Structure 1
Amino acid sequence: MPVSDLLDHPLTERADHPAVIDADGTLTYRQLGTAVDRAVGWLRGQGLTAGERVVYSGGNDRSFLALFWATLRIGAIFVPVHPDLTDHQIDHIVADSEAALAVCRPAAGRRAARTVDVEEAWQQVLATAEDGFRADLDEDEVAMLIYTSGTTGRPKGVVCPHRQMLAALDAIHACLGYDEDDVVLCRLPLSFDYGLYQALMSALVGGTLVLARRSEDVGLLRLIERTGVTVVPLVPSLAQMLTLLQGKLHRPTRVRLFTNTGARPGRAVMAELLEVFPGSEFASMYGMTECKRISILDPAEYAEHPDSVGPPIPGDRVRILAADGAELGPRETGEIVVSGPTVMAGYWRIPLEAQNRFVRRPDGSLELHTGDRGWLDEAGRLYFVGRDDDVIKRRGMRVALTEIEDAAERLPGVTAAVALRPEPEDGPLLLAVHGTLPPEQVRAALAGRLDHSRMPDRVVPLDTVPLTANGKPDRAAAKRLVDAAAAASAPAADHHRSTRTTTASPRSSHEPVAV
């Protein structure tokens, strides 16, 4: 069955049960179904047909869900985009996906066959007659393209067929056990797969999805209490915020489960979070867009194995490989490699031989080489050690350092750029540039090309760009050069500060130290 058929069960069995709670109120499954039918009519009125791409850059609300379900139901391909991305970033996705329709800011969607502003599109949907059309789809057809940071510069579209998405849902459900009485908080962007799959999991069991926005964080604990939230997917910043709020207010809640994937909250934060939310448990998980979810730790095992991200989800297999491709044994660290029914179908319009993540196996299936490092214990539990050198988690987003470099190197006057891996991962991000364009002008120009998560905190000059044996920029060597330049300039800066007049303006904390 196609993913859109997930709505059939709750529409039939739980039509009057709350499906979605957002800033505009509550929608039952019956009302959500009506909104989806109207969105189907609107999309077909735009001339959309099966296989065409729909780029959508909206926020966490009912309009996102209605257009998502409707796009899949007519057989088109949904391409979610975070609304905080710049016009330049969205334009790349629109062009790369060859979108037939872009629901986004007009300037960002100019290369689509048709572009409609998000709010205007929703008003048109509400004024459209309901349409019960359903495309006849095979599970191997593509449901979504999710653009994710890669190690080759610009974001690539992960091809997500209906079959793999359904397999991932079934496997995650088998581990986490969402049920029809669950109320799932989604403060994560729906444009991220971790957020969107909360909507899919809720539909699978007929539960309720509560959509929240970061701008509403002040009242988040009240929202959790008022709506009876039982499941909270986390990112580290959200874990810290909830710990602080609940530690002060001690509100009665129904929260039973916290989950996390990607960058994990610290052990101390999780211990305090579980203490201030009595009766709750924590499921530590590991995954990436190219496979959705890879492993899940049973909450009952968290106390004994707090550093593990659990065994592979049902149906998937994890191997740990050495640099020469040899399979490693228990407690030996190497690259995490995944095979199974949840491995997606590669990258959009990039030949398999040109991809460095997906590898064809002898049986014809694809194996995902994550680029991440980890090890397995004797019981098959996975331990995540670190990410690919070129990819970091920053402000809740997976960011390729090469994306930042690529954006800088497109600027006139920049001949080379090296993004320095932050230490720790959420620390200040420095971009070293070589060329004639002053660093402060580089950063100003990047403000229109990069979103907040990818924007470097400082830009510093680099006289020479060190290279590895493979001819790639050597990040470690570049960092040593930047550190040495900063150390050499420190005495001179101290002397200047001690001798300057009282009328001199102090240097901004955001000004590059070497400028």
Structure 2
Amino acid sequence: MERIWLKSYPEGIPADIDLNQYQSLVDIFEDCVKRFADNTAFISLGVKLTYRELDKYTRDFAAWLQNQGVKPGSRVALMMPNILQYPICLFGALRAGCVAVNFNPMYTSHEVEKQLNDSGAEVIVVVENFAATLQAALPNTPTIKKVVVCSIGGMLGAKGKIVNFVIRHVKGMVPNWHIPHHIRMNTVFEEGSKSIFTPLKLTHDHHAFLQYTGGTTGIPKGAILTHGNIVANVLQANAWVRAYTTEGKDLIITALPLYHIFALTANCLTFMCLGASNLLIINPRDLKGFVKEIAQYKFTAFTGVNTLFNALINNHDFKKIDFSSLKLTLGGGMAVQQNTADKWKALTGVPLAQAYGLTETSPAATINPLDAQEFNGSIGLPIPSTYVKIVDDHGQELPLNEVGEILIKGPQVMKGYWERPEETSNVFDADGYLCTGDMGYMNEDGYVFLVDRKKDLIIVSGFNVYPNEVEDVAAKHPGVLEVAAIGIDNGAAGELVKLFVIRKDPNLTEEEIINHCRAELTNYKVPKKIAFVNDLPKNNVGKILRRELRNKKSNYV
């Protein structure tokens, strides 16, 4: 395939990466903690953890795992928000040769039970706020041998005692729980520091993560991400952002959860290679607390999703922040709306660059050039060593500017789904390309444009309507705060467009929205039904879940 996108690369970005620079993610980690030993690696609630300290704590956790008889290749589950213990346990597990399995702490006990059993995890680290959920799941999860419990304030020194008291007794955020034979994190560190740690030689083929995702079919399954996959994506992302960063001087806002692949690779891993500091935000939904915390720092980089950026630009206190140090902003996880991007740049002075990827691609596959001054609506160019093609329903490659399914090939693409050979074979074509289930097209300059998810497509009288396009137009109305579009049954005509709207202007009417949309959309794309709602269903990173809006058992229909 001719890589037409290479002509649009910013100067200095290579066509390909050298995957042999590192044999594993552990190699990258150990190189970074040595080179940047005295730099701050992570910050949580004002408490800093240096790369040197990170090296020690991860070594102790790895030694403890080995001393407990946890073998290389064993799965270690992590069920924590963005607290200092997360990166410690993550890198500690990897140094012990284990496979990290990330859990959303907000999972129900049923979801926890299913993922523990599917992954076969032997050890789980859980923050005490969610220990009661784990407790309910444990009777039916026979593979779990060790439960480690930590607290929000556990790594915060003297300040941590106050934090824990408030969380436990003032806010009542730790439900009663009882897990026999659990181990407290401080005990793990004490025992680990007295234990021998045996370094392991890992290769590209060793598994690093079982990263669970709905994938392209909606059924949760573990994407097997090898050390080679993650090393590749870190090197690819690093090549893309390095020119816009200063080694050892950057501070990135990490509001998206590290247990999600976007923040894990983009913030934690890529910026680790730059000796940067990650400012961990425990609860970005507490917008007041979030804005108050980041206002204390001269941050240089910011990642997020459209809903987060939209909430911030509509926050009075956020508008007062000094953005003079900000150099790059990256949006992913869901489509970035033109209106949001325009307002973000007007407020911060920095363009919002859209990127695209999936859990199955570790995640980055395409990124917009970071020197672009204007939002172009595309999801960017295929990154180094990555191939993208657009195909029709029969798998035949389409000409430029024609909409079809986006397929991806590269060293960052997963090995397959954990213990699901049929699912794995279904998601790859004969040439080894990953079938994403996303619809889009590529233009003459190699830019890829995402149109929508295949399953979210709305068919109106035989015509295709893409929800993103409708949402993008509706979001431009000054009275609209957030919006989501779905298709609903319309008898013989197929479907019609229904719009769910959170109002910024409480007096906004259905007629005003429809007229606004009619000015920019052809008639069959114009919403015929409007529902005003107080909230929209979102996943753990803030991506709006259209499937919940379509669910007849939900409160939204």
Matched, 1:128 2:197: no
Within a 5 Å distance, the mapping from 1:244-393 to structure 2 comes to: 244-245=314-315, 249-253=319-323, 254-278=325-349, 280-291=350-361, 292-301=363-372, 303=374, 306-352=376-422, 355-361=425-431, 366-389=432-455
Secondary structure of 2:314's counterpart equals helix
Match of 1:96, as an amino acid? D
Q: CA 1:169 to 1:151, structure 2 compared with 1: closer, same or farther past 3 Å?
A: closer
Corresponding residue pairs, total: 415
AA in 2 matched with 1:388: K
Distance 1:125 1:54 in 2: 14
Match of 1:63 in 2: 85
269-278 vs 137-146, which deviates more? 269-278
Match of 2:209 in 1: 144
Paired residues of 1:235 and 1:265 also in contact (CA < 8 A): yes
Question: Partner residue of 1:212?
Answer: 281
Report the equivalent of 2:144: 113
Cα distance in 1 for partners of 2:205, 2:38 equals 32
Q: Which amino acid in structure 2 is aligned with residue 385 of structure 1?
A: V
Moved more, 382-391 or 71-80: 382-391
Q: How does 1:458-469 map to 2 (within 5 A)?
A: 460=552
Deviations 1:109-132, CA, capped at 9 Å, x for gaps: 441332415325423333233354
Cα separation, 2, equivalents of 1:193 and 1:249: 29
| SS of equivalent residue, structure 1 residue 294 | strand
Q: 2:95 and 2:45 mapped to 1: Cα distance?
A: 26
The aligned residue for residue 181 of structure 1 is: 249
Shift in Å, 1:24: 6.2
d(CA) in 2 for partners of 1:458, 1:335: 22
Q: Following TM superposition, where does structure 1 have runs of at least 4 consecutive aligned residues deviating by more than 6 angstroms?
A: 390-393, 450-455, 510-513
| Structure 2 segments unaligned to the other structure (5+ residues) | 1-22, 127-133, 151-182, 458-466, 469-485, 487-494, 503-539
Q: Structure 1 residues 41, 390: CA separation in 2 closer, same or farther (over 3 Å shift)?
A: farther
Deviations 1:371-406 (A, max 9, x none): 11100000111000001306999xxxxxxx9xxxxx
- Tell me the CA shift for residue 151 of structure 1: 5.0
| Partner Cα separation in structure 2 for residue 299 and residue 72 of structure 1 | 31
Distance 1:360 1:38, change over 3 A: farther
Residue pair 1:4, 1:72 contacting (<8 A) in 2 also = yes
CA deviations 1:409-440 (Å, max 9, x no partner) are xxxxxxxxxxx99955899xxxxxxxxxxxxx
> 1:6-21 alignment to 2 at 5 Å?
6-21=28-43
What SS does the corresponding residue of 1:276 show, helix, strand or coil?
Answer: helix
Report if aligned partners of 2:416, 2:424 keep a CA contact under 8 Å in 1.
Answer: no
Aligned equivalent of 1:443? none
Contact 1:338 1:370 in 2 (8 A): yes
SS of residue matched to 1:171: helix
Q: Any idea what SS the aligned residue of 1:290 has?
A: helix
Of 138, 161, 165 in structure 1, the residue corresponding to residue 230 of structure 2 is: 165
Matched residues in 1 for 2:49 and 2:338: separation?
37
Q: Separation in 2 of the partners of 1:263 and 1:27?
A: 31
Matched with 1:505 is none
The 5 Å alignment of 1:359-508 reads: 359-361=429-431, 366-389=432-455, 423=498, 456=548, 460=552
How far is 1:451 from its partner?
A: 13
| C-alpha contact 1:151 1:390 (8 A) present in aligned 2 | no
CA drift at 1:164: 1.1
Separation in structure 2 between the aligned mates of residue 383 and residue 511 of structure 1, nearest angstrom: 33
Q: With the length of structure 1 as denominator, give the TM-score of the two structures.
A: 0.74
Give the deviation of 1:58 after TM superposition. Answer: 1.0
Alpha-carbon shift at residue 42 of structure 1 (Å): 2.2
| 1:156 CA displacement | 0.6
Asked if the contact 2:356–2:366 (Cα under 8 Å) also holds between the matched residues in 1, the reply is: yes
The 1:426–1:356 alpha-carbon spacing in structure 2 relative to 1, beyond 3 Å, is farther
Look up the SS of the partner of 1:320 in the other structure: strand
- Give how far 1:9 is off: 2.9
Q: CA deviation at 1:256?
A: 1.5
Q: State the SS of the aligned residue for 2:29.
A: helix
SS at match of 1:33: helix
Q: Structure 1 residues 273, 349: closer, same or farther in 2, change over 3 A?
A: same
**Following TM superposition, by how much is the alpha carbon of 1:250 offset from its aligned partner in structure 2, in angstroms?**
2.1
Q: Note closer, same or farther for the CA distance 1:459–1:174 as it changes in structure 2 (3 Å cut).
A: closer
Structure 2 vs 1, CA of residues 360 and 349 (structure 1 numbering), >3 Å: closer, same or farther?
Answer: farther
Structure 1: where are the runs of 5+ without partners? Answer: 394-400, 402-419, 428-449, 462-509
Q: Is the 8 A contact 1:103 1:121 kept in 2?
A: no
Q: Sort the Cα spacing of 1:24 and 1:300 in 2 relative to 1 into closer, same or farther, 3 A.
A: closer
Q: Which of these residues, 108, 115, 118, is aligned with residue 86 of structure 1?
A: 108
Contact kept in structure 2, 1:373 and 1:388, CA below 8 Å: yes
1:25 aligns with 2:90: no
Paired residues of 2:59 and 2:95 also in contact (CA < 8 A): no
Q: 1:276: how far off?
A: 1.4
Say if 1:46 and 1:355 are closer, same or farther in 2 by CA, change over 3 A. Answer: same
| Identity rate, percent | 26
TM-score (norm 2): 0.68
1:65-122 CA distance string (max 9 Å, x none): 1110011111110001110011111111110111122234232344133241532542
Most deviating of 84-93 and 350-359: 350-359
